[in-house]
Amino acid sequence: MTPDPATASAPARRAPAGAAVLRADVTEAIRDAVVEELAAVGFSKMSIEGIARRAGVGKTAVYRRWKSKLHLVLDLVGAFAVDGLPVPATGSLYGDVRALLEVMSHVLRHPVASAVIPDLLVEAARNPEIADAVRGALLDGQRRMAEGIVSAAVARGELPAGIDPAHALDLLIGPLYWRQVVVRDAVTGGHLDVLAHQVVAGLKASV
């Protein structure tokens, strides 16, 4: 059968340049490289070139996914943030606090947390843009959970109205962050039990 000259001479259709599917394995390699680069040189000295070299890809592969190193790091932070988790609903203030402490302890054990967050907080003290971005990535989900825990406790009569969820979050996360990220001491289930009781007592005494 003789091919149609019109179709034989027509070039093969190509997908638009921007339609390429981003390979998941390349994305994960870049994320792994960011953690390694942060641990090696810190955020201020970290570069897209260094990340790409460590991941074994070109700079273009990084820029297709993130427009800057800040957005790349914040994406990593967001990957283990609590924003998508449901608010604990155990039926008691102590149970909810204990559940949130368990979640946050698990989050802070993530290697990204120990490698990224302390360095980002140092940079945030010098750069308002980074400070705003870090605050959104780290605090929005935690604040939502604290608000849910406090409002449920008020509805049950366990706490009086007027408790500031931001104060509750300070009591919840501050001691845990200090122990796990700053001091780097082990956090056992028994320690979380005691801390949960202390947080509940602090909340009840704060009004």
User: DSSP alpha helices (H): ranges in 67-205?
Assistant: 69-79, 93-109, 111-124, 128-156, 165-177, 189-205
**Of 16, 22, 18, whose CA–CA distance to 57 is shortest?**
22
Rounded Cα distance between 96 and 182, Å, is 25
Q: How sure is the predictor about 49, in pLDDT bands with cuts at 50, 70 and 90?
A: very high
Q: Which helix (H) or strand (E) holds 142?
A: helix 128-156
Q: How sure is the predictor about 140, in pLDDT bands with cuts at 50, 70 and 90?
A: confident
Position 144 pLDDT exceeds 80: yes
Residue 205 identity = A
Over residues 74-94, mean pLDDT: 78
Position 35 pLDDT exceeds 70: yes
What 3-state DSSP class applies to 25? helix
Q: How sure is the predictor about 5, in pLDDT bands with cuts at 50, 70 and 90?
A: very low
Q: Can you give the C-alpha Rg of the chain in angstroms?
A: 23
For residue 126, the model assigns a pLDDT of 81
What 3-state DSSP class applies to 12? coil
In this structure, how many other beta carbons lie within 10 angstroms of the beta carbon of residue 188? Answer: 10
Q: Does the model's pTM come out above 0.85?
A: no
Over residues 183-198, mean pLDDT: 92
Please provide the average confidence, as pLDDT, over all residues in the chain: 82
Position 82 pLDDT exceeds 80: no
* CA angle (124 as vertex; 121, 127 as ends), nearest 5: 160
Position 83 pLDDT exceeds 80: no
